[in-house]
Amino acid sequence: MTTPRPAPCLMVQGTASGAGKSTLVAALCRIFRRRGWRVAPFKAQNMALNAAVTSDGGEIGRAQAAQAEAAGVEPTVDMNPILLKPEAEDRSQLVVRGIAVASVDFDEYARMTPLLLPVVAESLARLRAGHDLVVIEGAGSPAEINLNAHEIVNMRIARLAAAPVLLVGDVDRGGVFAALVGTLALLEPDDRARVRGLVVNKFRGDRRLLEPGLDELARRTGVPVLGVVPWIPERLVPEEDSLVLEAPAPRRDPAALDIAVMKLPRIANFDDLEPLAAEPGVGVRFVRARQDLGAPDLIVVPGSKSTVADLGWLRAIGLAEALQALAARGTPVLGLCGGYQMLGATIEDPAGIESSTPVASGLGLLPVVTRFACAKTTRRVRARVLPEAGLLAGAAGAEVTGYEIHAGDTDTGGARRPFAVLERGGRPAAGHDGAVSDDGLVLGSYLHGVFANPALRRALLVALAAHRGLAADPRWGTGPAIDPYDRLADIVEAALDVGAIEKLVQP
């Protein structure tokens, strides 16, 4: 009996973090899916605080979940077998095949990589056995020669998968030609030969201005330029890298709703707010200083990988005091996951699960108490919005889906609850999630991803507009006219020589 041949692989690597690898992999997943391929994404090791939950309760990078959606397949832990979630400057939580197993520093992780590489290989083999094509994403740059001895995400994976590599450079940062040539120059000859095409990403303007440089680039490197992808102003794929938060906030219409998000040092799952930012007349900005807070229509305290430490940071720079003062004057406040925990009365951590502080005082905006525990909760949730949901009450009765990623439990006492839980981890469940203040203006919830639900999104924005005395926009909650992954694929397919790329992976 003949053993089926493993599916071919295509790898996308970049000259630096933020070059656009995640977006291009998502685009290629949709492009090849539309051409009839059964596609799966793969990233051996991801370092990110934006995470998603698979159907079996595993935790993977949010980007790989989005790429799976673009490919039209259910995300699995094999698509991102190793996830590192930074906890401090020198430590990260290590998640292996969806399960948090340790907290490690760089040296500890480096010593573990020989044991982790077989895990990566097994996950990749399973994906190749079940699909026609696996599109692999690298991390950072393959030219980070100081990390080559222990890397298990760039050229070591290209060798493992026998994958041709597309090397992507970000022209918007400047120096793209030097970045591409320099990256190739630092690769070992065998690895350099794996790079079969160059892609210039995030170009604004007339492509003709690039042509002399593109010709010289191909002449100097011997590698063809397979496309120039334009700058895409729309947010079509959930952001993975917090580098995006460093960009200046776009100018905002004075009449728009203003949502201010605390840019915590260990901010997690900030993509929760992207559906709101995509709505017309809504501005979402990230705040790191008291003087930048202003008088927003909504303050959001987002998720955090280090809740107590980030709460201490809010206090140290005066944002906690400013938030409390605005809340006392009637400014609506929303806390998500770690942010929900911060809004409560106290956070207890007697076993030192997350910090060395046994009991920390919260912001006191909700009458809830959180107690950390060793077990980590990661599961998908289906819930119904309750009439007492405060800012979300306009969606009462609607069913929403989301997911939980948190340590510890929160005792809500007699607080009003925004959500009735119908299903957890794919099984029928009873209970509630979250808490609402007596005046309905402060709300906390453990549920990530719920604002992807149009009814919930519209309910929140209508409530905020009414609170400010503005008319609601009839477009809120109607959703995009075209699937964002199709929109992304249309743009990228028009910019790349997809025929040449397809030839690279023909069996």
For the annotated catalytic residues, the residue numbers are 337, 448
**Strand arrangement of the beta sheet that strand 45-47 belongs to:** 45-47, 82-88, 91-96, 99-104
What per-residue string of b and e applies to 33-72 under the rule 16 or more CB within 10 Å gives b? beeebebbbbbbbbbbbbbbbbeebbbbbbbbbbbbbbbe
Sequence-distant (6+) residues with CB within 8 A of 450 are 272, 400, 401, 402, 456
**Shortest CA distance to 159 belongs to which of 116, 201, 189?**
189
Query: What are the DSSP calls for 65-80, one per residue?
Result: HHHHHHHTS---GGGS
91-96/82-88 β-pairing = antiparallel
* Helix 176-186 vs helix 211-221: crossing angle, to nearest 10: 10
Three-state SS letters, 428-443 = ECCCEECEECCCCCEE
C-alpha to C-alpha distance for 312 and 143, rounded to whole angstroms: 37
Residues 195-227, buried b or exposed e (16+ Cβ, 10 A)?
bbbbbbbbbeeeeeebeeebeebeeebebebbb
Residues 6+ apart with CB under 8 A from 319: 262, 287, 289, 290, 293
